[in-house]
Homo-oligomer: A and B are copies of this chain.
Amino acid sequence: MQEDYKVGAYSVEGNVNYDDLVTKFGVSLIDDDLKKRIKKDAGDLHFMIRRGIFFANRDLNWLLDQYEKGNKFYVYTGIAPSGSMTIAHLLPFIMAQWLQEKFDADVLIQIPDEEKFLAKKDMNLTLEKAHDLAYQDALDIAALGFKPEKTKMFLNTEYADVVYKQAVRVSKYLTFSIVKDAFGFGNDTNIGTIFYTSTQAVPAFLKSVEQGTNVPCLIPLGIDQDVHFRVARNAIDKLGYYKPAIMHSKFLPSLKGGPKMSASDSDNTIYLADSPDVVVRKVNRAITGQQSTAELQKKLGGDPDKCAVCQYNRYLFEPEDKKLEAIFEGERKGTLLAGEHKKDLADKINKFLENHNKKKERLSDRLDSFMLRA
């Protein structure tokens, strides 16, 4: 039975069938062979790859061919500001930071401060507000441990002297027909949104432009963003640059059990700006795979796949496989009660956020060294 779901750049709905998505999008799974190869080249394997959270790819074997021949790649990822970052937004950045560390990769981070301004129908998110949010995001990103000397970030409106010119080159190869089909645009779509994907393509070949020679690029992203590069990779190829390789992540589930934690569903989403109290309150209301009472749970056990608390440990907060397995086992066998289960996760999140906020404080007056401007 085919499940009803939709994964688009601007919305995700229903229960995502990731196997089906791999076929639909024409991407490949990160299988055991590829995991072994990454581990060999990196000297390690990130738990998000081990656990199939980063589960799919485009051209990752080609990228590692290049790497093994001594042709180093750079990493590109980004975030469109619309409010405080959530913990779901961390996935591609954590992966980018790991890739930087293990492959000595330069990292380029695009903060398209115009994207949500253009995409949202309401007028509350002004460009000025998006600009401020972009700088908050930049600080959150920097605090994840990127090397200042190998990491550059930019806002599209502030780096437009570089970005717009290259976006124009991309846009010549993209007709309305192409973006209409890819993004579901119509006659009522504004022309800024129609053009926007051209700018998202730019960092995927910008190092090649700057260095005057082709440099491989790897993009870790949530699979909902793949569409931008399904469209752009052909244009980038026609411009004579390497198509970027991509690593796709699944979506961090909603605390209430939906397929994707959404920044606009504030009760079921944990923001990096949340206070410890708020984190405790939100986690306490999270869905678990457990039975309705402690008695039943002890007797029948629960289902880790349906349990947001288990999944948050798996996606983000329990890097050690053995400890994760103990949590899952406790859930399955009913020895781990909801209360302590949730307290453990809330503690982990709050410990992460406490550290994160300290790092932000230390970096706040050094953020400028990360930023590219004209």
Closest to A179 in B: B191
Closest to A167 in B: B192
**Cα-based distance from A226 to B157 in the complex (angstroms):** 28
- Cβ contact of A118, chosen from B171, B190, B193, cutoff 8 A: B171
What secondary structure prevails in chain A residues at the interface with B?
Answer: helix
Q: Which residues of A line the B interface, CB within 8 A?
A: 114, 117-118, 127, 156-161, 163-165, 167-169, 171-177, 179-180, 185-195, 197-198, 373-374
> Would A127 and B191 count as touching, CB distance under 8 A?
no
- Cβ contact of A163, chosen from B160, B163, B177, B191, cutoff 8 A: B160
**Cα-based distance from A176 to B180 in the complex (angstroms):** 11
Given A187-B177, A194-B194: A118 and B161 interface contact (C-beta under 8 Å): no
With both chains docked as a complex, state the minimum distance between the C-beta of A111 and any C-beta of chain B, in angstroms: 14
> Would A190 and B171 count as touching, CB distance under 8 A?
yes
Closest to A156 in B: B164
> Would B169 and A190 count as touching, CB distance under 8 A?
no
6 contacts between A and B (CB under 8 A): A114-B168, A167-B192, A174-B192, A175-B187, A176-B185, A177-B188
Q: Which residues of B contact A171 (CB under 8 A)?
A: 118, 190-193, 195
- Cβ contact of A191, chosen from B118, B161, B194, cutoff 8 A: B194
- Cβ contact of A161, chosen from B158, B173, B174, B179, cutoff 8 A: B158
With both chains docked as a complex, state the minimum distance between the C-beta of A316 and any C-beta of chain B, in angstroms: 34
